[in-house]
Structure 1
Amino acid sequence: MNIPWANIIVILILGVIFIVSSWFISRKVSTADEYISGNGKLGVAFGTTSLLAFWITGNTIMAAPEAAYGLGVIGAIAYSFLGGVAVVSFSPLGKRIHEIIPHGKTVGDFYKNRFDKKNYYFFMVMLFIYMFGLLMTQGIGGGLLLEQIFDVPYSLAVVLTFIIVIAYATMGGFSSITGIAFFQVMLIFLVVIIVPPLVYFSTGVAPIYRGMAEFAPEKLDLLLPAGILFMFAGAMFAIGEVFMDNTFWQRAYAVRKDKLMSIFALAGVGWFFVPLATATLAFVAIGTNQAPEEVNQVAPFIAQIYGGNFVSWVFLVGVWSALASTIAAILNALVSLLIHDIYQSLNPRADNEKLLRISKILTVAIGVLALLISLPKFLTMLQMLIFLGVINAAFVFPIIYGLFWKKLDATVAFIASILAIIVGYVVYYTVGDLQGVVASGWVSFLVCWVGSLVKPANYNWDKLYRVGQSQASEVKRK
């Protein structure tokens, strides 16, 4: 096997930049809270780039063209719609989170205190399954990217990506990840600004349109039923991703309260244009009647053919930065959950030094485990997102109702989520994958709504407001 060392060196150089930057940032991290939650409050610039760096994932740049290749123009619009709407939709939730649970740290704080133990344990299990699944899609994306463009063997590419990310994420935790995110977002936007225009400069817009009309005219249909289904099912599972993902709850607490609405709105609008731009690369494949070996390789496949070496390098650097930033954010979010919701519950007297040490050990352990489960290529990135979307959709309404309506009973919330997942996966395997996501969301909504009318609760919001107050007071005294 001939290993392209020159290509690997490019990634190593980028990795060294991230690692060195993380080392400088980590020197200011001295407590476990800083490691998992960061220092102070993020303003508009760093708050927005932190969100974008996490939410612009390998899926955004690789799976969006996959959706466009399969569903045409409506697929590109639908993929862009689902993620942008999801982030903007979190704005009112973030504001509400600050109002009713101002001293919380994780989504686990909300679920543990708003509902009961059975809800909390079930939610945490589903959350870990989802987050590990998302980690796996990023590992797969990194492996496919390096394999397709630079001929790096898939397994070596996955190992290389995770080792670099584990190294810089372990050093300074949340502070390092958000600090490097600003630089990573700039690299990501290079892909949007440079790659599609240069590819279309080479091919021409009119020839691609004529080619699509000749080879796949149905993919120009803006009312394609499968595309419309994907748009609404996609919005459902994307909103579920955002609402249940601890990464977004971390950032809701990390940003300034007075800037929260504008930060999430800017991030949602900014995100919309990234998948829309990269998805247009799929139109070139359709219009020229070319097909990659694997459908989720369509974007790098076209960039390599029509953009030349320069575009390939830009695509590699930008997309790999997106993968790295998302993997790092998920690692930190998982560590935050494990430390705050599990380890500290079992060891409430653990001192700061021990918590910080355990946090770093967990970052490495989770990273290595994610590396191992990313090695098999048994689903495409888009297929994995839809599969996990059944879980995401099931928790949308328990979270919304739980934050805004005191009448939602804990048992009703539990029945809603577990029944939604069961029905969702039955429909997923018997009718269709997207239909399974829609069914999960509808069951969750109907059970929460009807159950709250039949068996209304009278939850006391003060219970959530008191969460973490003693720790917050202790921090202020120090």
Structure 2
Amino acid sequence: MPSILSENIGYIILIGVGLIMALSVTLMVKAETKWLGTRKTSEWFYTAGRTIKTGLIASSIVSAWTWAATLLQSSTVTYEFGLGGSFWYAAGASIQVILFSILALELKRKAPMTHTFPEMIYVRFGKHSHKVFLFFALMTNTIVTAMLVLGGAAVINSLTGIDITLAAFLIPVGIILYTIFGGLKATFFAEYLNAALIFVVVLIFVTVIYFATPEIGGISGMYEKLTQASILKPVEGNAFGTYLTLASMGALIFGIINIVGNFGTVFVDQSYWQRAIASRPKAATGGFILGGLAWFAIPFTLATTLGLAAIATGVTLTENEIELGLVASTAASNLMGDFGAILLLTIIFTAVTAAGSSQLVSVSSLVTYDVFRTYLKPSSSGRELIKISRFTILGFGIGMGLLASLLFHSGFSLQYVYLMMGILIGSAVAPISFSILWKKTNKYAATSAAIIGLGCGISSWLLSADSMYGEITLSSTGNLLPLLIGNIVSITTGLGITLVGSMIKPENFDFHIMKQKILVVDDKVRSMLKHDTDEEFLQRSLKFCKRAGFSISVFLVIVWPASFYLTEFVFEEQSFHLWIWLAIIWAFSAAGIIIFLPLIEARKNISEVFHKANMDSDMMEQSDYSHFSGNDSPVMKILVPIDGSARSLKSLYHANYLFRGAAKVRIYLLHVIEWTDENEENIDEELASQIQEEGRLILRSVVVPKQINDYKRIVKLGDPAEKITELADKLKIDMIIMSKKGIGKSTSNLGNVTQKVLKLTSKPVVLLE
């Protein structure tokens, strides 16, 4: 299949859009840390300070759950089965997120200070069970990551001709950059931008294709063309062979596989637990339910547009091209030319990067907390945890490309991996869920259920493929019926063994133990959690989640489809119009919530950032460093570094001697506590406070001459010479007065710090013996 776009456009999107996304997210994180006073501790890096509100949680859910498979496979199953495909993709993968709100609330009630779900398993079941579920967690992240990159690379290759292996390695570049810098908060920002962009593009597609494309002829034209296609190429297993029905056996089988498999990729995926951990208690309920309902609109509307358009325009693809998910891209380029192809390629790329960032943070948190801190160095500091995390992000980010390339060259398609993932991870769904939901869950039953369920799922999948098709190959195991059997056996075996084993030998676990054994080091976060955790409110929210979650789920996957399936309902033109308008209205409503709700909730912070960013630098200096309320600004600003030595104190008295009698002189006394880490913000909040208090004690012990009326004491952490230079530039210092040597040892005439200051600064420096 010849490529639609040039390689140059592919590289622009791969590298250019990736770098723009990385730069945008990095600037957003920098703005928060600089102007909102956020300190980048290890707690902040992994949990975003546990302060995320409803809108950002919802947009994060939409983005994280919108994989390349969402944008591609939804159109593929619609192309194969008609309206039933788009419906079952959306309904079959939205209920898991909605139901996960129950686990999110239980986590807030029972283990509010946890960092990962295996951390909870370790406290409740011990280290052997912890290792088993850590394996499932890492396997889930690996499978999801492989699908993300594989789908994105396949589309980039098909549309631009860029080598698929090269694309697989270029995709993670931007992800690694901003994730290493900003951690989970960077992921939230990237996901918001991605979710907003996806909804804008989806709305462009539906508007242009249904209302501005002559080849389609509007909603009525689409209906006529689908009716003709049903006659020319009837769908086996669909009511009357038509594409215009939800009564489709193939779509139903896909829907069941979709439901089973996606329980695993939500409930066993650390990234969703990470969102529950990062959310404020009051945001956990609305964030997950709103996110699930908003996400429904993306595959439902996009597939009802591009998938049906591919059928209506007679798009013909090989079986391999269909499995690689090229239906959507082909339809977009056929109807909207290069513009349509570029739009789809852009949102697929941003979806891969945003969801990929989420997976990177999840893997790094699992490796850092559940491997390094649990088994290798339990007493590790926050700086060490962040360092391990960044190494993990870099290593796993590079491994993303390698894994996707291996899968592609081994013959595994996006569709194959998507449909078989539930077999591999489904058995862990019930044991993990019951570990936080049910105090009677038996640890041996739960652990063995996950292992036995995995074995039974794989065995039933392979055996059914062999018995039905006479061989075990990629082709035979990729058929729907063996995949259906394997998925159902895996998840039901895990559920059955957990329930039966726990009822035979129930435990009586006290969930207060989790609060006692899982602690947050950061004082600020710990006090915020205690203040926000209202047990009565959480109980009410939990009841609402259970009622709303189960009601919505039953309606989406039982009541709604059953009314169409059992009656073998075939859409007439009028009802088809209503169906398409339902998709359009749902998409516009979801877009409004996802784009505007986070902005409304963050309006105070946004206003504060813009206000501080636009303030005059002198005003910034006055508000941050001056203790005077007068309006007269000094005409001379002097910086005197104090390290506690007699020589540095002599510098202070010399400054007083030089400028005695001067009316407008301000002297800044700076004490820098040497810190080996390059970034002072990486220090845990509690440790930083203790160190800075020691520095303030040193400065308070310095007797300032009475003649000096305008002065300010400042304490910094980091490299002394760099901090002296940095502060001199920031405060627009006119002169630095310091001793040739301080308390450090130096064989030369000048101390090491003094030599470095002279190299770094362009300010006048007065040196004293």
TM tier, smaller: over 0.9
Q: Which residue of 2 aligns with 1:126?
A: 136
Matches within 5 A, 1:260-339: 260-280=284-304, 281-293=306-318, 294-295=321-322, 296-339=325-368
Per the TM alignment, residue 476 of structure 1 is displaced from its structure 2 partner at its CA by 4.5
More helix by share: 1
Q: Which amino acid aligns with 1:15?
A: G
Query: What's the Cα RMSD here?
Result: 2.1
Deviations 1:365-420 (A, max 9, x none): 11011111111312222321222111332122112322222221111112211121
Match of 2:387 among 344, 348, 357: 357
Match of 1:451 among 488, 491, 501: 501
Deviations 1:434-459 (A, max 9, x none): 22111112112221222222222222
Answering whether residue 206 of structure 2 is matched by residue 206 of structure 1, we say no
**Residue 208 of structure 1 contacts residue 283 of structure 1 at CA under 8 Å; is this kept in 2?**
no
Match of 1:60 among 44, 67, 70: 70
Q: Distance in 2 between matches of 1:312 and 1:73?
A: 23
**Residue 427 of structure 1 contacts residue 433 of structure 1 at CA under 8 Å; is this kept in 2?**
no
In our comparison, the structure showing a higher alpha carbon Rg is 2
For residue 469 of structure 1, give the secondary structure of its aligned residue in structure 2.
coil
Q: Distance in 1 between matches of 2:79 and 2:413?
A: 13
Q: Which residue of 2 aligns with 1:229?
A: 253
Q: Which amino acid aligns with 2:282?
A: D
**CA 1:206–1:74 in 2, change beyond 3 Å: closer, same or farther?**
closer
Answering whether residue 290 of structure 2 is matched by residue 246 of structure 1, we say no
Answering whether residue 437 of structure 2 is matched by residue 404 of structure 1, we say yes
Per the TM alignment, residue 63 of structure 1 is displaced from its structure 2 partner at its CA by 1.6
**CA 1:68–1:359 in 2, change beyond 3 Å: closer, same or farther?**
same
For residue 275 of structure 1, give the secondary structure of its aligned residue in structure 2.
helix
Q: Which residue of 1 aligns with 2:487?
A: 437
Q: Which residue of 1 aligns with 2:153?
A: 143
Q: Which amino acid aligns with 2:63?
A: A
**CA 1:476–1:391 in 2, change beyond 3 Å: closer, same or farther?**
same
Q: Which residue of 2 aligns with 1:180?
A: 190
Per the TM alignment, residue 248 of structure 1 is displaced from its structure 2 partner at its CA by 0.7
Deviations 1:340-389 (A, max 9, x none): 11111211233222322222121111101111111131222232122211
Q: Distance in 2 between matches of 1:129 and 1:10?
A: 30
Q: Distance in 2 between matches of 1:230 and 1:115?
A: 35
Per the TM alignment, residue 185 of structure 1 is displaced from its structure 2 partner at its CA by 1.0
Deviations 1:222-242 (A, max 9, x none): 232232232233212212211
Q: Which residue of 2 aligns with 1:466?
A: 516
Per the TM alignment, residue 470 of structure 1 is displaced from its structure 2 partner at its CA by 5.9
Moved more, 362-371 or 121-130: 121-130
Q: Distance in 2 between matches of 1:78 and 1:394?
A: 22
Deviations 1:146-166 (A, max 9, x none): 112223222222222111221
Q: Distance in 2 between matches of 1:226 and 1:235?
A: 14
Per the TM alignment, residue 83 of structure 1 is displaced from its structure 2 partner at its CA by 1.7
Q: Which amino acid aligns with 1:17?
A: I
For residue 374 of structure 1, give the secondary structure of its aligned residue in structure 2.
helix
More strand by share: 2
Q: Distance in 2 between matches of 1:211 and 1:48?
A: 40
Q: Which residue of 1 aligns with 2:453?
A: 420
Per the TM alignment, residue 199 of structure 1 is displaced from its structure 2 partner at its CA by 3.1
Q: Distance in 2 between matches of 1:277 and 1:327?
A: 23
For residue 317 of structure 2, give the secondary structure of its aligned residue in structure 1.
coil
Q: Which residue of 2 aligns with 1:81?
A: 91
Moved more, 331-340 or 416-425: 416-425
For residue 466 of structure 1, give the secondary structure of its aligned residue in structure 2.
helix
Q: Which residue of 2 aligns with 1:168?
A: 178
Flag structure 1 segments of 5+ consecutive residues without an equivalent. Answer: none
Per the TM alignment, residue 13 of structure 1 is displaced from its structure 2 partner at its CA by 2.6
Q: Distance in 2 between matches of 1:405 and 1:140?
A: 38
Answering whether residue 23 of structure 2 is matched by residue 13 of structure 1, we say no
**CA 1:448–1:49 in 2, change beyond 3 Å: closer, same or farther?**
same
Per the TM alignment, residue 299 of structure 1 is displaced from its structure 2 partner at its CA by 0.7
Percentage identity across paired residues of the two chains: 22
Q: Which amino acid aligns with 1:212?
A: A
TM-score of the superposed pair, with normalisation by structure 1: 0.94
Match of 1:216 among 234, 237, 254: 234
Match of 1:370 among 380, 396, 400: 400
**CA 1:6–1:396 in 2, change beyond 3 Å: closer, same or farther?**
closer
Q: Which residue of 1 aligns with 2:106?
A: 96
For residue 380 of structure 2, give the secondary structure of its aligned residue in structure 1.
coil
Higher relative contact order (CA 8 A, sep 6+): 1
Q: Distance in 2 between matches of 1:153 and 1:348?
A: 44
Q: Which residue of 1 aligns with 2:59?
A: 49
TM-score of the superposed pair, with normalisation by structure 2: 0.60
**CA 1:452–1:356 in 2, change beyond 3 Å: closer, same or farther?**
closer
Q: Which amino acid aligns with 2:83?
A: V
Q: Which amino acid aligns with 2:183?
A: G
**CA 1:350–1:116 in 2, change beyond 3 Å: closer, same or farther?**
closer
**Residue 59 of structure 1 contacts residue 141 of structure 1 at CA under 8 Å; is this kept in 2?**
yes
Q: Distance in 2 between matches of 1:359 and 1:414?
A: 27
**Residue 89 of structure 1 contacts residue 239 of structure 1 at CA under 8 Å; is this kept in 2?**
no
Per the TM alignment, residue 40 of structure 1 is displaced from its structure 2 partner at its CA by 4.3
Q: Which residue of 2 aligns with 1:344?
A: 373
**CA 1:476–1:84 in 2, change beyond 3 Å: closer, same or farther?**
closer
Per the TM alignment, residue 475 of structure 1 is displaced from its structure 2 partner at its CA by 5.7
Q: Distance in 2 between matches of 1:406 and 1:350?
A: 31
Per the TM alignment, residue 329 of structure 1 is displaced from its structure 2 partner at its CA by 0.6
Q: Which amino acid aligns with 1:91?
A: S
